[in-house]
Chain A
């Protein structure tokens, strides 16, 4: 029954929360977990910039950096109220704007949730890398953090200050956010790449075949992968919101799923006689991590391995599918966070310990996944489309030629090794 205790924490009344917060160890654990989730941003920055060309590296890092800064501000000011405020309708919270709490514990909870929101936002930065204007992207990030993510979040995790989200009422289970955080971020990213279009020359204009655009620093990609993996222990185990005995199993499931994800990718690439790429392998382990996020507290390790393994395979299939559809996801964020996220959410219902293969639960999980897509994708698509029309989202050809490091930030990541001269103002 412990798993249900864990799942039900988010729906406990405030006084019970205060009791949890009375234990200093819980506060310490949650702050450490929040710091680990924050550290994931480093992983994203290294992974995404490493997978981009050197002329766009600074731009990618800048987007990740500002995602945290702007995302945190926006979520603190509005997002938290929408997601966790008094939720009488089941569709959104409507209290706690610029929150002030009477207890210290709620501040800890707010800190942890801010880090989650920043994670959801940053997923789009990688997918849209190398051809998206900085200003347009940032406005998009604000919309995701301040509106798209918290509204869906309120349906699943809402009701911290009263009421309950409607998906939660249905029995939808998403322990740490395979759907709430990762899929929602991925569907926003999908909308973004559809609006912004592919990078110059990504697809052969005659055959439509995708051309490989290798990243400039695979060591950074690997380092980013490791850091994300480390941060995920805080992401999943921190979602217990208290330091209890379940942490070990959650962390173990997290670790095993990441390993299995990489193995799944390796197998998929080997069996299809494709070269075993480092980027795919790392994305495979991230796919495993995303997949286990929903069910890390409610699965046995054996099923965690299966969940991770399939997540890794799905990353490869998803990557080829996107290429087939001529959608340019620069870092493979959509297969990792979207496809593996959906699978993980379904697996959380199907492999629930003590209630295995429950088709009714699987159906509820499927509804939750579909609703996430139907909410996040069209909303983000409209937002990005409007941004493209109003302030411009796609960088001009000249800016892409020069690289966004220079055209957007007037600096280069690697000036010593750059063969191209720095642009000077036109004659004058």
Chain B
């Protein structure tokens, strides 16, 4: 069984290199390890669909599955080496990196915006928002990313944002926007959002400009 699992991991690592970059492959493999370990090769379609949603890509899952099946029946020396060491390094980095990195100016500006929005919500609304965010974040972020963002929302500490690139934080803000729409309604959300952005731009024009990349 272990041998089969290693073979699947190597096959995924081999095939996904054609579609994803290195960071995305690591994330995709972490999803595989966490949620699809031990499942038969025939169930690989479910995994590929999940990966497609994760990276918001219209992946040709049929084609990838066919490629995976081809690769799985090859002799093992045709496959890329086992990416397990890469995964372990990525896990270790996630655990230690939180306090090593410092948030950038733009990340701090985003933090101001999110804090401002959250502060406007009453206790009851914030509870509902967190429930909604838990659902929405779960669909978009997995593994360590989900945990870090959840910790960020609970602690209101910008340190947790430092590990993410602009694209991920843009997604994160959209998730917050959607949750606000669900809980507060679209009209109030746009009003709060507009007021918060306006206020940040009034107090610090540069931070206001920095925000643009996430909106």
- Taking the complex as formed, is B204 at the interface, i.e. its CB lies under 8 A from any CB of chain A? no
One of A31-39, A169-177, A272-280, A397-405 contacting the partner: A397-405
Interface residues of A, count at CB 8 A:
25
What residues of chain A lie closer than 8 Å to B170, measured between beta carbons? 398, 426
Task: Given A401-B174, A401-B177, A426-B170, decide whether A200 and B213 contact each other with a Cβ distance below 8 A.
Answer: no
What residues of chain A lie closer than 8 Å to B180, measured between beta carbons? 201
- Residues facing A in B45-62 (CB within 8 A) are 56
Contact (Cβ within 8 A) A427 B186: no
Contact (Cβ within 8 A) A211 B177: no
Contact (Cβ within 8 A) B167 A426: yes
Contact (Cβ within 8 A) B213 A424: yes
Q: Mask for A181-225, Cβ within 8 A of B = 1, else 0?
A: 000000000000000000111101100000111100000000000
Q: Which one of B181, B189, B209 has the greatest number of beta carbons of chain A within 10 Å?
A: B181
- Residues facing B in A142-189 (CB within 8 A) are none
Q: Mask for A321-350, Cβ within 8 A of B = 1, else 0?
A: 000000000000000000000000000000
CB nearest neighbor in A for B140: A397
Contact (Cβ within 8 A) B174 A421: no
Q: Mask for B159-202, Cβ within 8 A of A = 1, else 0?
A: 00000001100110011011011111111011001110110010
- Taking the complex as formed, is B43 at the interface, i.e. its CB lies under 8 A from any CB of chain A? no
Q: B169 CB to closest chain A CB, in angstroms?
A: 10
Q: Mask for B121-138, Cβ within 8 A of A = 1, else 0?
A: 000000000001000000
A205 to B215, CA, bound (A): 24
Contact (Cβ within 8 A) B211 A421: yes
Q: Chain B binding site: helix, strand, loop or mixed by DSSP?
A: helix
- Taking the complex as formed, is B151 at the interface, i.e. its CB lies under 8 A from any CB of chain A? no
A214 to B198, CA, bound (A): 22
Contact (Cβ within 8 A) A402 B178: no
Contact (Cβ within 8 A) A419 B212: no
Q: Which one of B167, B209, B213 has the greatest number of beta carbons of chain A within 10 Å?
A: B213
What residues of chain A lie closer than 8 Å to B198, measured between beta carbons? 419
A200 to B175, CA, bound (A): 11
Contact (Cβ within 8 A) A421 B215: yes
Task: Given A401-B177, A426-B166, decide whether A201 and B185 contact each other with a Cβ distance below 8 A.
Answer: yes
Contact (Cβ within 8 A) A211 B178: no
Contact (Cβ within 8 A) A397 B212: no
Contact (Cβ within 8 A) A199 B186: yes
Size band of the B side of the interface?
Answer: 20 to 34
- Taking the complex as formed, is B208 at the interface, i.e. its CB lies under 8 A from any CB of chain A? yes
Interface residue from B185, B195, B197 paired with A421 (Cβ < 8 Å): B197
- Taking the complex as formed, is A53 at the interface, i.e. its CB lies under 8 A from any CB of chain B? yes
Contact (Cβ within 8 A) A427 B166: yes
Interface residue from A199, A214, A422 paired with B212 (Cβ < 8 Å): A422
Q: Mask for A121-157, Cβ within 8 A of B = 1, else 0?
A: 0000000000000000000000000000000000000
Contact (Cβ within 8 A) A213 B197: no
A212 to B185, CA, bound (A): 9
Contact (Cβ within 8 A) A205 B212: no
- Taking the complex as formed, is A410 at the interface, i.e. its CB lies under 8 A from any CB of chain B? no
A420 to B177, CA, bound (A): 14
What residues of chain A lie closer than 8 Å to B175, measured between beta carbons? 397
What residues of chain A lie closer than 8 Å to B209, measured between beta carbons? 421
Q: B166 CB to closest chain A CB, in angstroms?
A: 5
Contact (Cβ within 8 A) A200 B212: no
CB nearest neighbor in B for A205: B182
Interface residue from B132, B174, B193, B213 paired with A205 (Cβ < 8 Å): B132
Contact (Cβ within 8 A) A212 B178: no
What residues of chain B lie closer than 8 Å to A396, measured between beta carbons? 56
Contact (Cβ within 8 A) B186 A426: no
Contact (Cβ within 8 A) A421 B186: no
- Taking the complex as formed, is A423 at the interface, i.e. its CB lies under 8 A from any CB of chain B? yes
- Residues facing B in A410-428 (CB within 8 A) are 419-424, 426-427
Interface residue from B182, B193, B194 paired with A201 (Cβ < 8 Å): B182
Contact (Cβ within 8 A) B194 A419: yes
What residues of chain B lie closer than 8 Å to A53, measured between beta carbons? 186, 190
Q: Mask for B58-89, Cβ within 8 A of A = 1, else 0?
A: 00000000000000000000000000000000
What residues of chain B lie closer than 8 Å to A402, measured between beta carbons? 215
Task: Given A214-B187, A420-B197, decide whether A397 and B132 contact each other with a Cβ distance below 8 A.
Answer: no
CB nearest neighbor in A for B201: A421
Q: A53 CB to closest chain B CB, in angstroms?
A: 7
Contact (Cβ within 8 A) A202 B186: yes
Give B contacts to A, CB under 8 Å.
56, 106, 132, 166-167, 170-171, 174-175, 177-178, 180-187, 189-190, 193-195, 197-198, 201, 208-209, 211-213, 215
Question: Can you list 27 residue pairs at the A/B interface with Cβ under 8 Å?
Answer: A200-B177, A201-B180, A201-B182, A201-B184, A201-B186, A202-B186, A204-B185, A205-B132, A211-B186, A212-B187, A213-B185, A214-B187, A397-B175, A398-B170, A402-B215, A419-B195, A419-B197, A419-B198, A420-B193, A420-B194, A421-B212, A423-B212, A423-B215, A424-B213, A426-B166, A427-B106, A427-B213
Give A contacts to B, CB under 8 Å.
53, 55, 199-202, 204-205, 211-214, 396-398, 401-402, 419-424, 426-427
Q: A200-B181, A201-B189 are in contact. List 15 more A-B contacts (CB 8 A).
A: A201-B182, A201-B185, A205-B132, A211-B187, A214-B187, A397-B177, A401-B178, A401-B215, A402-B215, A419-B197, A420-B197, A420-B215, A421-B201, A423-B212, A427-B213
3 closest A-B pairs by beta carbon, nearest first, are A201-B181, A419-B194, A200-B181
